[in-house]
């Protein structure tokens, strides 16, 4: 006991300081845990409201906010125990630079993923084409984007490949034009053929009245006069309407007394003595 008392008398100030710092550390950890939960919920709600309930962006920013609170708490705790945080920050910065150079391709995917999440050239559920691939967007992550092709294939592409390519989005606009081409004989009436195609288009409720459907003489081909029906519909009804029109155009042309000619060639035989 005498030894302990002597030790306590000698290092009384240091022991008191350590106990105080330990209690403050526990208090900071508890406060950081509480504040991080509040910050995570608040940031999630705010980002979801700004991004129109985009779950991916909201989760990303809420996690970053929670980690930022813990990082600040760690810096405060180290400062309590006399650690030179300025040199520590410099050391972490140097290490971060080295790691960044080693993982530059991975970091480029992260940067591209953030740009995709912010600028939204693609969204979950949209049908897009990029770099020769076509598919429905299933997920957009920080590293990769996942797509599903029309025939059910799984495609996982690095975000940098998606971001650095030209993206054709088939679902983004509210309307899409479909085109159906049919050939009639040169001896048939062009006006009758155009009238038949316009009447066919008017029977579809999913075809928009504005812009109005139109029929044009698309080409004077070798064996036929090609008429083309151009009509507008919504992206989700595009393919069903296109296939239905393709099926109905032949009987409608024939019902109008017109013919769809086969390819023809004129053969001239020249006789010589």
Question: CATH no. for residue 242?
Answer: 3.30.70.100
Do 193 and 214 fall within a single domain? yes
Closest CA relative to residue 109, chosen from 155, 162, 67: 162
Q: How far is CA 12 from the centre of its chain?
A: 63
Q: The domain containing residue 72 runs over which residues?
A: 8-102
Contacts of 32 (CB under 8 A, 6+ apart): 69, 70, 72, 73
Determine the Cα–Cα distance for residues 120 and 10; give it in Å rounded to an integer: 65
Do 93 and 70 fall within a single domain? yes
Determine the Cα–Cα distance for residues 69 and 40; give it in Å rounded to an integer: 10
In a domain, 3, yes or no: no
Determine the Cα–Cα distance for residues 122 and 144; give it in Å rounded to an integer: 13
Do 129 and 182 fall within a single domain? no
pTM of the shown model: 0.62
Do 211 and 181 fall within a single domain? yes
Per the structure, how many domains does the chain have?
A: 3
List the chain pLDDT tens, one digit each, 273 residues: 666 666 556 656 666 777 777 888 888 888 888 888 888 888 888 777 766 666 666 777 787 788 888 888 887 877 777 666 666 666 666 655 555 555 556 778 878 888 888 888 998 889 999 988 999 999 887 788 999 999 999 999 999 899 999 999 999 999 999 999 999 999 999 999 999 999 999 999 999 999 999 999 999 998 899 999 999 999 999 999 999 999 999 999 999 999 988 887 778 888 887
Do 144 and 163 fall within a single domain? yes
Domain final residue, candidates 59, 74, 102: 102
Residue 270 backbone phi and psi in degrees, to 5: -105, 120
| Residue with tokens 């504005």, as numbered in its chain | 210
Do 147 and 196 fall within a single domain? no
């Amino acid at each position: 006991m005498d030894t302990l008392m002597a030790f306590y008398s000698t290092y009384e100030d240091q022991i008191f300081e350590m106990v105080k710092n330990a209690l403050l550390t526990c208090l900071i950890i508890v406060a950081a845990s509480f504040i991080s939960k509040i910050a995570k919920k608040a940031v999630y709600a705010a980002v979801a409201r700004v991004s129109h309930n985009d779950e991916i962006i909201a989760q990303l920013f809420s996690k970053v906010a929670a980690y930022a609170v813990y990082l600040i708490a760690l810096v405060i705790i180290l400062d309590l125990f006399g650690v030179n945080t300025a040199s520590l920050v410099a050391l972490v910065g140097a290490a971060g630079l080295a790691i960044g150079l080693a993982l530059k391709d991975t970091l480029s995917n992260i940067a591209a993923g953030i740009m995709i999440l912010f600028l939204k050239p693609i969204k979950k559920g949209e049908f897009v084409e990029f770099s020769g691939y076509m598919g429905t967007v299933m997920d957009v992550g920080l590293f990769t984007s996942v797509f599903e092709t029309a025939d059910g294939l799984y495609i996982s592409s690095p975000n940098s490949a998606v971001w650095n390519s030209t993206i054709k989005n088939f679902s983004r606009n509210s309307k899409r034009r479909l085109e159906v081409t049919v050939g009639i004989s040169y001896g048939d009436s062009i006006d009758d053929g155009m009238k038949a195609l316009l009447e066919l288009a008017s029977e579809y409720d999913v075809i928009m009245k504005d812009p109005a459907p139109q029929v044009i003489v698309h080409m004077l081909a070798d064996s036929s006069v090609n008429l083309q029906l151009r009509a507008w519909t919504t992206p989700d009804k595009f393919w069903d309407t296109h296939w239905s029109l393709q099926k109905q155009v032949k009987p409608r042309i024939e019902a109008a007394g017109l013919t769809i000619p086969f390819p023809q060639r004129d053969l001239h035989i020249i006789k010589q003595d």
